[in-house]
Structure 1
Amino acid sequence: MSDQSGEHVHWVADGRGRRLVFIDGVRTNWVAYADTKAGIAVVFDDPVTSSDGEHIDFHPVWGEITVVSMEGA
């Protein structure tokens, strides 16, 4: 995996505002983490599910990741 610092790494509450995330050109909701350089994102299940009754389930997704600032959209 690529370096975890820098402009190519995005996560919830990283202080850079709201962004749109596209995976292979498809807008994707509920993204918790995205690394555009490594081409991986962590996405919460939609609809929300919980296998253990405490935590929301999530899964990794690989592909061409594009992140666009809501101000630039």
Structure 2
Amino acid sequence: MKVFQNLVFIFSTIATKFSLACPICLTETGQQVRDGIFNSNFVLYLFYSLLPFICFFLIIYAAYHGKISFIRD
């Protein structure tokens, strides 16, 4: 467990350094991008992005459990 904790610490340290080194994130453009993504419509846009996956999952679930028959008798 100690090895895992050390690996997590090392990875988080490296990832933090890379994210702080981003030249665009600290500019006004980076701030505008963040404001555009995480605005009041974030949940709605997230739902729209996940909706096709939910539909495909429901179709596959229904086909797997016999709710939809693709073979005609």
TM superposition score normalised by structure 2: 0.18
Higher RCO structure (Cα 8 Å, ≥6 apart): 1
Bigger-Rg structure (1/2): 2
Q: Select the structure that is richer in strand.
A: 1
Higher helix proportion: 2
